[in-house]
Amino acid sequence: MPIPSTNAIKRPLLERLSQVNQSTIAELYAYLGNHFQLTPEEAARLYDSGNDNIFKNRVRWARQQAIGEGLASSPGHGLLAITAAGIAYVNNNPLEVQVENEVEEIIASPDEVIENNYQTIQTALNAELLNTIKSQTWQFFEQLVIDLLLKMGYGSSRKEAGIAYQTGNDEGIDGIINEDPLGLDIIYVQAKKWEDRVGRPPIQSFIGALSTKRASKGVFITTSSFSDSAITCAKDSDKKIVLIDGEKLASVMSILI
């Protein structure tokens, strides 16, 4: 079943407290997880940002809601106990069956409101950033890719670690990143400022270029996306190839800038 909303959690949380008088938050996590028959995957699910566990966050807010309404109290650190008002609430409000996940979507915890607003803003920022990149020249894009990889920690400086090819005869390689000052481990880069989806042939050409250079690592970055056959081609190669599409590119850049 879907992860219950904060509002849906409050009633069984109070019912449990009426049975045991007081409980720790850890015990409530376990009891409520069983009560709602959550799978291990559902109980462990995180928000998209990875900042918190969804179910535990909702239990904590249900706890705070109960305390704020005078239905529960905190007699000690990490403890939650039911009050007389809480017992009356349980006796006068039969447990209701939540249908589908309508309540979950309508009633969100404060943390979830912040999370949802953050994701909306982040999505808009990524789209604007990607559109700006697409409006630039291909030379700008190739240079941007090298700068981004350096910013991510690959190599120590542009002079020592990153070189962007400026000629048209690049043999399928747009740049290189030296992972160490001596250039003992090199990553080859291909950058495609495209609107159309990148198919299998460009990936095959990139793999061929890596073989010519006797290279084992490559990064293929595009402003568009990759076809399924392109992704499979990269995975099946004996080279270590990382594919970064426009959406992931913008996401990484928005974090680093």
Is residue 227, in this structure, part of any structural domain at all? yes
Give pLDDT tens digits for 218-242: 999 999 999 999 999 999 999 999 9
Q: Are 226 and 192 in contact (CB under 8 A)?
A: no
Q: Which residue has the higher pLDDT, 116 or 105?
A: 116
Can you spell out the DSSP letters for the chain?
Answer: -PPPPHHHHHHHHHHHHHHHSEEEHHHHHHHHHHHTT--HHHHH-B-TTSSSBHHHHHHHHHHHHHHHTTSEE--STTEEEE-HHHHHHHHHSPPPPPPTTHHHHHS--HHHHHHHHHHHHHHHHHHHHHHHHHTS-HHHHHHHHHHHHHHTTSSS-HHHHEEE--SS--TT--EEEESSTT-SSEEEEEEE--SSPB-HHHHHHHHHHHHHTT--EEEEEESS-B-HHHHHHHHHSSSEEEEE-HHHHHHHHHHH-
In a domain, 124, yes or no: no
Tally the domains of the chain.
2
Interatomic CA distance for residues 152 and 117, integer angstroms:
27
Inside any domain, residue 62: yes
**Domain boundary residue, one of 108, 139, 155:** 108
Residues 140 and 52 in one domain: no
Tell whether pTM > 0.75. Answer: no
Q: Are 161 and 222 in a shared domain?
A: yes
Residue 122 lies in a domain: no
Contact between 4 and 104 (Cβ < 8 Å): yes
pLDDT at residue 155, rounded to an integer: 60
Residue 151 belongs to a domain: yes
Q: Are residues 97 and 41 in the same domain?
A: yes
Q: Are residues 133 and 251 in the same domain?
A: yes
Q: Which domain holds residue 154?
A: 129-256
Half-sphere exposure of 212 (CA within 13 A, CB side): 11
Phi, psi of 225 (to 5 degrees): -145, 175
The residue among 108, 138, 164 that closes a domain is 108
Helix spans in 135-212 (H): 138-151, 158-161, 200-212
User: Domain boundary residue among 108, 139, 157?
Assistant: 108
98 plus 142 within the same structural domain:
no
CATH of the domain at 247: 3.40.1350.10
pLDDT digits over 170-205, tens only?
556 777 777 666 656 788 888 888 888 999 999 999
Give the per-residue pLDDT at 134: 84
Q: According to the per-residue pLDDT averaged within each range, which of 50-59, 87-96, 168-177, 231-240 is highest?
A: 231-240
Residue 54 forms part of a structural domain: yes
Q: Domain with 58 in it: what CATH number?
A: 1.10.10.10
Q: Does 118 reside within a domain?
A: no
Is the domain of 71 the same as that of 139? no
Given a contact cutoff of 8 angstroms between Cβ atoms, the answer to whether 66 and 18 are in contact is no
Query: Does residue 180 fall inside a structural domain?
Result: yes
